[in-house]
Amino acid sequence: MPTNEAAVLDALRPIIDPDFGKSIVDLGFVKNVRIDGGSVAFDIELTTPACPVKEEFERAARDRVSALAEVDEVEVRMTANTRGRASTQASDVLPGVRNTIAVASGKGGVGKSTTAINLALALQRSGATVGVMDADVYGPSLPLLTGVHGRPRAEDKRIYPHESGGLKLMSMGFFLTDDSPVIWRGPMVHGLVRQFLTEVVWGELDYLIVDMPPGTGDAALTLTQMAPLSGAVIVTTANDLSLIDARKGLAMFDKVQVPVLGIVENMSYFTPPELPDKKYYLFGEGGGKRTAEEIGVDFLGEVPIDPRVVESGDKGRPIVVDDPESPTAAAFVDIAGRVARKLAVLAEGTPPIADANITWVS
């Protein structure tokens, strides 16, 4: 006797999503179960394509259904329907953008732009549609980091973002000529930020990463107040001063009730190429993690000091695409997965289970 849908769902029910703490069947992730004799096919629809346990889900699902007596062929298709604001939500501010993630820091030079572009590329690599908005009007770095330059097309009060490998890009840097001095007064900054939020044709995006202006000045405040931010990622380095600044950055988001998704500690340690198992913590170990604990936010991960970050940034190919196998790229991919998971859970209104290990209940 061939198997039936109920038997397939029963076989899949013990697979628990660690973020939601529930069965993938009860969460409604299993879709389109098709049975043709001994062949079974189904989809598993995740809440984000950047789900770090995608492969584990796929393997467990295949193994469990294959183990059914009457089944000799299993096809699992992994899909995603990124959670976030409803994409149809009527709004003139970033319509069509499901999740807007601010990447911020209390002080400059800690690797905010580097983190923003690499997170964007990591999310895109997972299959998500992603845009990057460089809102750092005083020191835009997206043109340099991506190698994309030139004025974007503008028509009828609409500005079309540049596109590079499918990634949508917008930066004040695209409008500047080399020698124009950048002197912005408060109202100009306000107007510019508004234009970026309302006139740029982003289209449908799963994630828009916003490289925030440094600190907590005018431009940063305008953005936190005007943009429908889904969450903020705070970048810091390990030394004490930047940790204090990180706290200031956090306070700014708290004020406008934007959830802080967590802290990234950049330039945490150095691994010499000839000693790939060593981690030298030049500024002391665990500062970012301790600060995160003290403030009660998640610690998203450590990114090593890596000269290739500078080189790859300078040649317009960030490390996640330039050397995807490197530990530094892996750190960004890991952080992107955590961010995506947290956003998915926030969007569902379910409290996250902190760093739960996947438990396969058998």
Ligand X SMILES: Nc1ncnc2c1ncn2[C@@H]1O[C@H](COP(=O)(O)OP(=O)(O)OP(=O)(O)O)[C@@H](O)[C@H]1O
Please name the residues in contact with 135: beta carbons below 8 A apart, sequence gap of 6 or more.
172, 193, 196, 210, 211, 212, 213, 219, 223
- For residue 168, give the 3-state DSSP assignment: strand
Choices 69-77, 106-114, 253-261, 344-352; region in contact with ligand X by CB under 6 A? 106-114
Lookup result for tokens 């992994």: 78
Question: Which of 214, 262, 288, 352 is close enough to bind ligand X by CB under 6 A?
Answer: 214
CB closer to Mg ion out of 29 and 253: 253
267 binds, among ligand X, Mg ion, none (CB under 5 to 8 A by kind): ligand X
CA distance from start to end of the chain: 25
Kindly state the smallest distance separating residue 348's Cβ from ligand X, in Å: 31
Contact of residue 305 among ligand X, Mg ion, none (CB under 5-8 Å per partner type): ligand X
Strand partners, 171: 134
Decide whether 331 or 344 has the Cβ nearer to ligand X.
Answer: 331
Q: Residue 9 class from Cβ within 10 Å (0-12 exposed, 13-18 middle, 19+ buried)?
A: middle
Q: Binding of Mg ion at residue 242 (CB under 5 A)?
A: no
> What x-and-dash track marks residues 290-319 binding ligand X by CB under 6 A?
-------------x-xx--xx--x------
Contact string 145-184 vs ligand X (x = CB under 6 A): ----------------------------------------
* Tokens 């317009």, located at residue: 316
Cα distance between residue 128 and residue 92, in whole Å: 23
Shortest distance, CB of residue 129 to ligand X, whole angstroms?
A: 23
Task: Kindly give the residue spans of alpha helices, DSSP state H, lying in the chain.
Answer: 5-12, 54-66, 112-125, 142-146, 186-198, 218-226, 240-255, 287-295, 307-314, 319-322, 327-348
Q: Closer to ligand X at the Cβ: 110 or 122?
A: 110
Closest distance between ligand X and the C-beta of residue 213, in Å? 8
Instruction: Tell me the C-alpha distance between 34 and 41, whole Å.
Output: 5
Say whether residue 104 binds ligand X (CB under 6 A): no
**Which CB, 81 or 326, lies closer to ligand X?**
326
Phi, psi of 160 (to 5 degrees): -95, 120
d(CA 140, CA 321): 21
- Span interacting with ligand X, options 1-9, 136-144, 274-282, 352-360, rule CB under 6 A: 136-144
Name the residue with tokens 């069947």: 25
Among 3, 141, 171, 224, binds ligand X (CB under 6 A): 141
Q: Which of these ranges, 137-145, 201-209, 273-281, 321-329, lies near Mg ion under the rule CB under 5 A? A: 137-145
At position 151, the amino acid (one-letter code) is: R
130 φ/ψ angles, rounded to the nearest 5 degrees: -135, 145
211/322 with CB nearer Mg ion: 211
How far is residue 85's CA from residue 139's CA, in Å, rounded to a whole number? 30
Binder of residue 245, out of Mg ion, ligand X, none (CB less than 5 to 8 A by kind):
none
Q: Among ligand X, Mg ion, none, what binds residue 262 when CB lies within 5 to 8 Å by partner kind?
A: none
Q: Does 233 bind ligand X (CB under 6 A)?
A: no
CA separation for the pair 140, 173 (Å, rounded)? 5
Please give the sequence-ordered ranges of beta strands (E in DSSP) within the chain, or none if there are none.
16-17, 22-23, 30-36, 39-46, 73-80, 97-104, 130-134, 154-155, 158-159, 162-164, 167-171, 205-211, 231-236, 260-270, 299-305
CB nearer Mg ion, residue 112 or residue 342: 112
Site for Mg ion in 83-112 (CB under 5 A): 112
Give the nearer residue to ligand X in terms of CB position, either 113 or 230.
113
Yes or no: say if 237 and 265 are a contact pair by the CB < 8 Å rule. Answer: yes
One of 99, 124, 141, 266 touching Mg ion (CB under 5 A): 141
User: Footprint of ligand X on this chain (CB under 6 A)?
Assistant: 105, 108-114, 136, 139, 141, 214, 266-267, 303, 305-306, 309-310, 313
User: Footprint of Mg ion on this chain (CB under 5 A)?
Assistant: 112-113, 141
